[in-house]
Amino acid sequence: AQSVAQPEDQVNVAEGNPLTVKCTYSVSGNPYLFWYVQYPNRGLQFLLKYITGDNLVKGSYGFEAEFNKSQTSFHLKKPSALVSDSALYFCAVRDGGYQKVTFGTGTKLQVIP
Amino acid sequence: GAGVSQSPSNKVTEKGKDVELRCDPISGHTALYWYRQSLGQGLEFLIYFQGNSAPDKSGLPSDRFSAERTGGSVSTLTIQRTQQEDSAVYLCASSLAALKGDTQYFGPGTRLTVL
């Protein structure tokens, strides 16, 4: 079985400050990890993914995520938040042997001007 | 190129009516997924198609829900005898296959409101 947890329903950060959106996962095999962003009344947009290799993954819009195998985490980060980053963020995981992808419950990011 | 498209974008129906939601995946993508997103909730997996294999229907909430994929491309999600609890945004996604690091690309969704 595979699962993913996003422990924070909402994260508030001041514009210009660094942001972190947390994600932890559980898989029985090798994890494939994804971050998506959803703006209001829109579908999900792919941000970045970890497959293998470098633990620090860089993605769209200046976001990056760090894969930590010992802590089973894949936190999303950005050095300097923008008001336009305010949205709903989803972490997702696929166990290497599975075909389905499991999504977290989402974290609402609010960047305060 | 064109992304995943879904129609209609909004659907309002009366309780007890049947509805059909359509998804056009990205050309060449063999895997297609349907999800449901209720207000303030995460994504609930409904059904998944991979090529010519039998679909994974394990997420369908009741036998009122069904889906088909014709010719390995367009998919239709059908909800019979709709109930108010079916109100949600229905999202479709496609990927090249359903393996490992394949990325899912999402459509804009269909917002279903059952009165």
The residue among B97 and A34 whose pLDDT is bigger is: A34
The pLDDT of residue B1 is 55
| Cα of B107 to nearest chain A Cα, Å | 6
The pLDDT of residue A28 is 86
The pLDDT of residue B37 is 93
Neighbours of A63 (CB within 10 A): 20
For B112, phi then psi, to 5°, come to: -105, 125
The pLDDT of residue B98 is 63
pLDDT at A67 over 90: yes
Query: Looking at beta carbons, which residues of chain A come within 8 Å of B36?
Result: none
pLDDT, tens digit (0-9, with 9 covering 90-100), for A12-21: 999 999 999 9
**Do B24 and B73 meet the contact criterion of CB atoms below 8 Å apart?**
yes
CB-closest option in B33, B42, B109 to A105: B42
pLDDT at A49 over 60: yes
The pLDDT of residue B42 is 81
Residues lower than pLDDT 70 in chain B: 1, 40, 98
Query: Looking at beta carbons, which residues of chain A come within 8 Å of B104?
Result: 34, 46, 101
The pLDDT of residue B100 is 74
Take residue B27 and report the two structure tokens written for it: 């050309």
What pLDDT band is residue A111 in, cutting at 50, 70 and 90?
Answer: very high
Report which DSSP code applies to B56.
B
Query: Looking at beta carbons, which residues of chain A come within 8 Å of B31?
Result: 99
CA A66/CA A31 separation, integer angstroms: 13
Neighbours of B108 (CB within 10 A): 18
The pLDDT of residue A98 is 65
What pLDDT band is residue A84 in, cutting at 50, 70 and 90?
Answer: very high
